[in-house]
A and B are shown apart, each in its own frame.
Chain A
Amino acid sequence: MNDLTYGAITRDILRPLFKPSVAYLGLLGLALSVMAWGGYCWYVQLENGLGVGGYQPPVFWGVYITTFVFWIGIGHAGTLISAILFLFRSKWRTGVYRASEAMTIFAVMTAGLFPAIHVGRAWNAYWLFPYPNQRELWQNFKSPLMWDVFAVSTYFSVSTIFFYVGLIPDIATVRDKTTGFVGMMYKQLALGWRGTDRQWHHYMAAYGFFAAFATPLVLSVHSVVSWDFAMAQTAGWHSTLFPPYFVAGAIFSGCAMVITLLLPMSRIFDWGKYLTTWHFESLAKMCLLTGFILTYSYATEHYLAWYSDNPYEWGIFAFRATGAYSWVFWIMVSCNCLIPLVWWSKKLRTNWVVLFAVSVVINIGMWFERFNIIASSLAHQFDPASWVYYTPSWVELGILAGSFGWFFVWFLLFIKVMPSVAIAEVKELVRPPLKADGEAAA
């Protein structure tokens, strides 16, 4: 990368902007269609009520909560890469962090839809937030669901600020390469950024503080999400293991999603200089580490359930592996614990086809992990008379598919209007232009 000039970096990274190819428009059209189908399914639910879902008492948390947790998990990798790896001065983050941050924002936006979809009467979703009202009625701040509202909304706000502040110098670069109405839009978004010494001085200080704030958030958000379950007395949920287990799983799925999104981009946009095998290998190693923690957590929770000698606790874990939902359990184990092991081979984790395929498999496995936790515990509670077999309805599955459409629409729009690789930070990685170098060469 050291042979690159600042001008070449600007040119290469801005090249994919604005001019959509036929393939891009096709992908956008597909994402919009899937999103529209999801929107229709939600309309059906709003029109007819939650009865169109596959809920059976006592299972009232199903696909929507599963998908909410899945998207929150996906949203973890971006801030991990942009904040934690920034504080550790990890160089491989530079190429991938911008797109990962965008992925985080869009994933949390997607996740944010699900509590509203889940509660049925979405128009009352604002009741989740504390606001002054004439009845002086307030939320129960001792409830983990309330903690989750604060955790997710704070995570979204902080991630968005961090993302936008990081974008400002690059938006200024785009502004200086565009004219007319488009240039005017970028001019407003760049806030008049010019890269003066004063601006950079305060910018770098603030950026460090944002990273420092975002770092504990990465660990706290999924911990709080895990308490939605762990604070309940339900067998299979009530465990102190949940926070680290959920955080590891979130980083595992998030890093896999970064590979899924960036690998095709690096090929299509010819960004081999900026998104190299080294970047993807580092992400794969991160998945291996967190996947190992996850596998260890699966083993630990099963061991503790057996060791507790509690028939309800052990009953649910035995049910997960051998009962009606065993197919979900074994998909989870195969996708999260076994198949990613191929990445221990350097040859396979540097093979782009294997990298992409395994990253997709991990995300399938992580969705099933959340379904395994939620559905099996609720469908097989203390009283055998209440045992049911919950299966999602077509409406729930349609909304699940629609969430992917919604996410990809945002992501595809982003890569056409904003630099998906951080221009200023990539320039920091190359040797600056020095007169002394020219004189030495002469």
Chain B
Amino acid sequence: MSAPSGMTVKAVFSHLDCLVDGIHAVKKSGHKDFLAIAPLPRHEIEELIYEGRPSPVRWFTMFGAIFGGTYGFSLCSFTHLNWPMIIPAGKPLVSVPAFLVITFESTVLMGCLFTLLGLLLMCRLPAFDLQVEATDRRFSDDAFGLLLNGLTAAQAQEWKAKLHTAGATEITISEGTDA
């Protein structure tokens, strides 16, 4: 992530309900440039921020699975046609039941690889340049975080007061910086 312009407010929460109150206040204000951080996935946070919108990762999965299935069946069929082994008893060169195993395995393998690709792209991983305020070691342990970017000095002071009211245990204001 590039350095956010303007001021950044970083709020640390010890309680989940306080973080949810903070996110609720941000959503209500219409401010879009914010980041909630948690040591575990919580449906309260996801529902509040994404409002039931599904992740686009599913499109990567679907494409990968269709591609994999097509590739698997084509690999078997075209290689057998390329080097025909004439088997007695009238068995077909392109044998659907026999090739379904490879088709299934390729479907699963490519579906997974494309899901992984989708995950990395959508999460923007590897993300070694995430803004420094997000790299608080407590956020992977027992604390929750809320970062508000792109604020003016006056807005930052205003949010500091609001988030304090929501229950933040620590609030800092900084210029947007790279990690």
- The answer to whether A165 touches B142, judged by C-beta atoms less than 8 angstroms apart, is no
Distance in Å: Cβ of B56 to nearest Cβ of chain A? 8
- The answer to whether A150 touches B105, judged by C-beta atoms less than 8 angstroms apart, is yes
Contact of A201 among B46, B115, B127, B129 (CB under 8 A): B46
Contact of B105 among A140, A154, A198 (CB under 8 A): A154
The answer to whether B126 has its CB under 8 Å from any CB of chain A is yes
How many angstroms from the CA of A220 to the CA of B103 in the assembled complex? 12
Q: Which residues of B contact A424 (CB under 8 A)?
A: 39-41
Contact of A433 among B15, B55, B113, B119 (CB under 8 A): B15
The answer to whether B125 has its CB under 8 Å from any CB of chain A is yes
Given A192-B127, A194-B127, A224-B101, A130–B55 Cβ distance below 8 Å?
no
- The answer to whether A196 touches B61, judged by C-beta atoms less than 8 angstroms apart, is no
- The answer to whether A209 touches B58, judged by C-beta atoms less than 8 angstroms apart, is yes
How many angstroms from the CA of A217 to the CA of B83 in the assembled complex? 30
- The answer to whether A206 touches B55, judged by C-beta atoms less than 8 angstroms apart, is yes
Contact of B41 among A136, A157, A204, A216 (CB under 8 A): A204
- The answer to whether A141 touches B102, judged by C-beta atoms less than 8 angstroms apart, is yes
- The answer to whether A196 touches B125, judged by C-beta atoms less than 8 angstroms apart, is no
Q: Can you list 10 A-B pairs, Cβ within 8 angstroms, ordered by A?
A: A130-B75, A142-B98, A150-B106, A161-B116, A175-B140, A177-B141, A192-B128, A206-B119, A220-B104, A432-B16
The answer to whether A202 has its CB under 8 Å from any CB of chain B is yes
Central interface residue in B95, B124, B141, by most chain A CB within 10 Å: B141
Q: Which residues of A contact B18 (CB under 8 A)?
A: 435
How many angstroms from the CA of A423 to the CA of B49 in the assembled complex? 24
Chain A residue at minimal CB-CB distance from B14: A433
Given A138-B82, A205-B54, A195–B104 Cβ distance below 8 Å?
no
B113-144 Cβ-contact flags toward A at 8 Å (1 or 0): 10110111011111111100011010111100
Q: Which residues of B contact A216 (CB under 8 A)?
A: 104, 108
Q: Which residues of A contact B54 (CB under 8 A)?
A: 205
Distance in Å: Cβ of A123 to nearest Cβ of chain B? 24
Chain A residue at minimal CB-CB distance from B75: A130
Say what secondary structure dominates the interface of chain A.
helix
Contact of A176 among B49, B124, B140 (CB under 8 A): B140
- The answer to whether A217 touches B108, judged by C-beta atoms less than 8 angstroms apart, is yes
Closest 9 pairs (CB-CB, A-B): A192-B127, A205-B55, A138-B79, A6-B142, A176-B137, A7-B142, A206-B119, A141-B76, A435-B15
How many angstroms from the CA of A222 to the CA of B102 in the assembled complex? 14
Q: Which residues of A contact B3 (CB under 8 A)?
A: none
Which segment, of B4-12, B30-38, B154-162, B170-178, faces chain A? B30-38
Distance in Å: Cβ of A103 to nearest Cβ of chain B? 20
A190-232 Cβ-contact flags toward B at 8 Å (1 or 0): 0111111111111111100110010011001000100000000
The answer to whether B112 has its CB under 8 Å from any CB of chain A is yes
- The answer to whether A435 touches B167, judged by C-beta atoms less than 8 angstroms apart, is yes
The answer to whether A151 has its CB under 8 Å from any CB of chain B is yes
- The answer to whether B112 touches A157, judged by C-beta atoms less than 8 angstroms apart, is yes
The answer to whether B85 has its CB under 8 Å from any CB of chain A is yes
Chain B residue at minimal CB-CB distance from A202: B122
Instruction: Give residues of chain A (401-442) contacting chain B, Cβ–Cβ below 8 Å.
Output: 424-425, 427-428, 432-436, 438
The answer to whether A363 has its CB under 8 Å from any CB of chain B is no
Given A169-B140, A191-B126, A205-B54, A428–B14 Cβ distance below 8 Å?
no
Q: Which residues of A contact B140 (CB under 8 A)?
A: 169, 172-173, 175-176, 194-195
Chain B residue at minimal CB-CB distance from A158: B112
- The answer to whether A10 touches B57, judged by C-beta atoms less than 8 angstroms apart, is no
Given A10-B141, A194-B134, A200–B104 Cβ distance below 8 Å?
no
The answer to whether A389 has its CB under 8 Å from any CB of chain B is no
The answer to whether B153 has its CB under 8 Å from any CB of chain A is no
- The answer to whether B36 touches A213, judged by C-beta atoms less than 8 angstroms apart, is no
Central interface residue in B15, B16, B101, by most chain A CB within 10 Å: B101
- The answer to whether A176 touches B130, judged by C-beta atoms less than 8 angstroms apart, is no
Given A141-B102, A205-B55, A206-B115, A191–B95 Cβ distance below 8 Å?
no
Q: Which residues of A contact B130 (CB under 8 A)?
A: 192, 194, 196
- The answer to whether A137 touches B83, judged by C-beta atoms less than 8 angstroms apart, is yes
- The answer to whether B16 touches A434, judged by C-beta atoms less than 8 angstroms apart, is yes
Q: Which residues of A contact B40 (CB under 8 A)?
A: 6, 169, 195, 424-425, 427-428
The answer to whether A5 has its CB under 8 Å from any CB of chain B is yes
- The answer to whether B111 touches A209, judged by C-beta atoms less than 8 angstroms apart, is yes
How many angstroms from the CA of A369 to the CA of B38 in the assembled complex? 48
Known: A206-B119, A216-B104. 16 other contacts (CB 8 A): A10-B142, A141-B98, A147-B101, A151-B101, A157-B109, A161-B113, A176-B140, A194-B135, A197-B38, A198-B123, A200-B41, A205-B58, A206-B118, A210-B112, A220-B104, A224-B101
- The answer to whether B141 touches A197, judged by C-beta atoms less than 8 angstroms apart, is no
Q: Which residues of A contact B124 (CB under 8 A)?
A: 198
Chain A residue at minimal CB-CB distance from B49: A197
Given A193-B125, A197-B37, A197-B45, A209–B17 Cβ distance below 8 Å?
no
- The answer to whether B141 touches A7, judged by C-beta atoms less than 8 angstroms apart, is yes
- The answer to whether A141 touches B79, judged by C-beta atoms less than 8 angstroms apart, is yes
Distance in Å: Cβ of A1 to nearest Cβ of chain B? 14
Contact of A199 among B56, B76, B123 (CB under 8 A): B123
